[in-house]
Amino acid sequence: MKNRQHNEEPRIFIDNRGRWFHDGIRITHKWTYLENNKNLDVDKNGRFFVEESGSRVYITCEDTPFVVTMVTRTEDGFFIRLNDESLEKLDITTLTICKQNIPRVKVKKGKFTARLLRPAYYEFMRHTSRDEKGFYIEVKGEKHYLQSPEKNQ
């Protein structure tokens, strides 16, 4: 009999678009979806889990648990909306591009990585410029160069 207090066999899956599934069925109930995102955590081994009422359920994640659904530029920089409907100021210094040319940023005070979905990526890239060093985003007069895929894993 499995220990219900600490189930390590993942039954919940997050796909690369930030959608949650339980036993293969998409979680579409908005409150359940948002509550799961709110309770998402990561253990010291880098495994994602949700813990509620002393019960821990581990989660399999296709890529990143959070995705950036929207990017907005302001005078102070960029703000991003995540799949959990939260809004955060983008820390431009955490922006990287993986081998698959997918931009990623740190979110939730640096605890998680989020990938930019295509609409957010296209909006973000509208604000890039290019010089002899490569592509960059200028924020408050400072150039932030986009790291090339060769430098990332």
CATH number at residue 20: 3.10.540.10
Torsion of CA 77, 30, 17, 64, to 10 degrees: 70
d(Cα 17, Cα 134) in Å, to the nearest integer? 28
Give the Cβ contact number of residue 39 at 10 Å.
Answer: 12
Q: Is 70 found in the same domain as 56? A: no
The domain containing residue 119 runs over which residues? Answer: 66-151
Quote the pLDDT of residue 148. 57
Quote the pLDDT of residue 151. 53
Tell me, yes or no, whether 1 lies in a domain.
Answer: no
d(Cα 18, Cα 118) in Å, to the nearest integer? 13
Q: Is 141 found in the same domain as 95? A: yes
Q: Is 76 found in the same domain as 42? A: no
* DSSP code string of 8-28: EEEEEEE-TTS-EEETTEE--
Q: Is 101 found in the same domain as 120? A: yes
Q: Is 91 found in the same domain as 145? A: yes
Evaluate whether 68 touches 81 at the Cβ level (below 8 Å): yes
Q: Is 85 found in the same domain as 51? A: no
Q: Is 48 found in the same domain as 71? A: no
Q: Is 108 found in the same domain as 74? A: yes
Evaluate whether 120 touches 71 at the Cβ level (below 8 Å): yes
Task: Kindly tell me the burial class for residue 116, based on how many C-beta atoms sit within 10 Å of its own C-beta (0-12, 13-18, 19 or more).
Answer: buried
Q: Which residues contact 86 (CB under 8 A, 6 or more apart)?
A: none
**3-state SS of 69-107?**
EEEEEECCEEEEEECCCCEEECCHHHCEECCCCCEEEEE
Q: Is 123 found in the same domain as 48? A: no
- Tens of pLDDT along the chain (153 residues)? 444 455 556 789 999 999 999 999 999 999 999 999 999 999 999 999 998 788 899 999 999 999 999 999 998 889 999 999 999 999 988 988 887 888 899 999 999 999 999 999 999 989 989 999 888 888 888 888 887 555 544
Q: Is 99 found in the same domain as 50? A: no
Could you give the number of structural domains in the chain?
2
Q: Is 71 found in the same domain as 47? A: no
Tell me, yes or no, whether 100 lies in a domain.
Answer: yes
Quote the pLDDT of residue 44. 94
Quote the pLDDT of residue 65. 95
